[in-house]
Chain A
Amino acid sequence: MLCDICKKREATVHLTEVINEEVSELHICEECAKDKGAQMYQHFGLADLLSSLADIPHDTAPKKGRINIKCPSCGMSYNDFKKRGRFGCADCYEAFKRALYPLFKKIHGVSYRAGKGPKIAPVAKPAMTKKISRSSAVRENLRELKTSLARAIEVEAFEEAAVLRDKIRALETRNIKADKE
């Protein structure tokens, strides 16, 4: 087989690329491979590895083909994110949310957080102390429930997830009422 690039020498390097389930093959000689070497190496940067991980699987992809979601805050599209392997701003996490569960699972093995959060700054009104501590307890509780919900979804324990979701809703509506009072 002759080299696909120079069409002169025997092809000894065989590359297979799979893009959107389409397989393309490239057969080239060693010399042309060396010339292309620098370029080819570029293809394996962290951004590229991440972008291959960040492909939205079919079941979570938006229906009606390939709609390119955009982050409303910074304008980064999901394709930009895939190309660069970096988010544009903190709100991108919400915008690309559905694709992130499988992505985080691939990178971290799980898709939920653990550990500490930022300290919530205390409010300097002594009279409010009781209420503040109550609402921060609720917030902590909510945080835990949400983490459990993410876990439940991950292991596909949907009944448990439904229970947790209802608890979160109840707690959130109560919290809003309490805030209004």
Chain B
Amino acid sequence: MKFNNLIDRTSEWLKGTGPESDIVISSRIRLARNIVGLKFVDWSDTATKEKVVNISKDAISSSSYMKDSLYVDMSGLSPLDRQLLIERHLISREHAIDAECKTVFISGNEIVSIMVNEEDHLRLQVIQSGLVLNDAWKIMTTIEKDLEKKLKFAFSDEWGYLTACPTNTGTGLRASVMMHLPGIVITSQINNLINALSKLGLTVRGFFGEGTAAAGNFFQISNQVTMGMGEEEIIDNLTRVVRQIVSQERGSRRFLKARKRDIIEDKISRAYATLEAAHIITSSETIDLLSLVRLGIGLGVVKNLDIYKLNKLLMLIQPAHLQKLAGVELSSSERDIKRAELIREKLTV
């Protein structure tokens, strides 16, 4: 795979396939691992970091799952290309800053990405469409087993996998699910949900951007603790809770359709009309409007779009994607014009 091909493709996790994919956009599993005998990234010198790059390169490229993967040296990427990888959820924001000795491996379908020299020597990620945490975990264990043939990971019988940050010690596993919950938000139940989840040791965050509370009612729900609970238990718990939230969201949508039909159809149709008509539009406004249209697809109000097309649009309207599509760097106001143009084009097809 080549870097410049990324922009023409759709990440597997956006395809709108898999169980509950109208509400659960994607499932993601992340593992933090460090190589025995080498200092952790932030505390080590360049020579050690280079060593990590070299031995992990050998191990990762010999994993059967990562054959044809794209290997990227972060220091060779422009800021725009780094941003593109962030928007596609293939690297973290931290990985784009100070790129010295940082690399990433991306599998052909973008399901797997492995960051080298992020906070830990290795950060493995599997991301897929729909509520499929178990499948993602299976892929993850396969890859980890492959890597273990060549690498020895820091592990203690008492604490588990040893990570740079004590919040990851133990399993080193973060399972997260990205959910679209407009029904729960519109029916004012979201705060109750967030409170309840925090009591269960789960974290809820907005999905788009950073700091923005929860643009477009997209939320990311993940496990907080990594000790005292095994991997399967963590994944099982999260899956159960997410199923429960899905049924709450469906309940809210049924309520809206039955009792608030005029109000909700008005909102959705106006959102669609604005997207169709706008000539200048910011990304946050776009996300809010696309969220309503996405709800409209779920409720059967919007008929000429499907979830896949909508998910794709959510990706393409982001700043780096817009600029890659345009082939030139654009200022913020130029992007707002380009974004409106792109949306009009995609909605009329």
A-side interface residues toward B, CB under 8 Å?
46, 50, 54, 73-74, 76, 84-90, 93-94, 100, 103-104, 107-119, 121, 142-143, 146-147, 150
Contacts and interface: CB of A to CB of B under 8 A. Distances in A.
A24 to B, nearest CB: 28
Contact of B157 (A46, A121, A142): A142
A108 B162 contact: no
B119 A118 contact: no
Contact of B42 (A84, A109, A121, A150): A84
A115 B230 contact: yes
B231 A115 contact: yes
A84 B166 CA distance: 11
A61 to B, nearest CB: 18
B162 A87 contact: yes
Interface string B226-253: 1111111110000000000000000000
A145 to B, nearest CB: 9
Interface of B: 34, 36, 38-40, 42-43, 119, 145, 148-149, 152-160, 162-167, 169-171, 173, 201, 225-234
B39 A89 contact: yes
Given A50-B166, A115-B171, A119-B145, A89 B43 contact: yes
B43 A113 contact: no
Contact of B228 (A54, A94, A113): A113
A18 to B, nearest CB: 22
Given A108-B225, A108-B226, A117 B164 contact: no
A114 B228 contact: yes
Nearest to B165: A86
A140 to B, nearest CB: 10
Contacts of A54: 166
B162 A113 contact: no
A110 B157 CA distance: 15
A93 B159 contact: yes
Contacts of B230: 114-116
A115 B164 contact: no
Contacts of A146: 157-158
B165 A112 contact: no
5 contacts: A87-B164, A107-B225, A113-B158, A114-B229, A118-B155
A73 to B, nearest CB: 8
Contacts of A73: 39
Contact of A104 (B155, B166, B171): B166
A97 to B, nearest CB: 9
Nearest to B229: A114
A50 B231 contact: no
The 7 A-B pairs at the shortest CB distance, nearest first, are namely A113-B160, A115-B230, A110-B228, A90-B154, A88-B43, A108-B227, A108-B225
B228 A90 contact: no
B159 A113 contact: yes
Contacts of B163: 87
Given A85-B165, A86-B43, A86-B164, A119 B228 contact: no
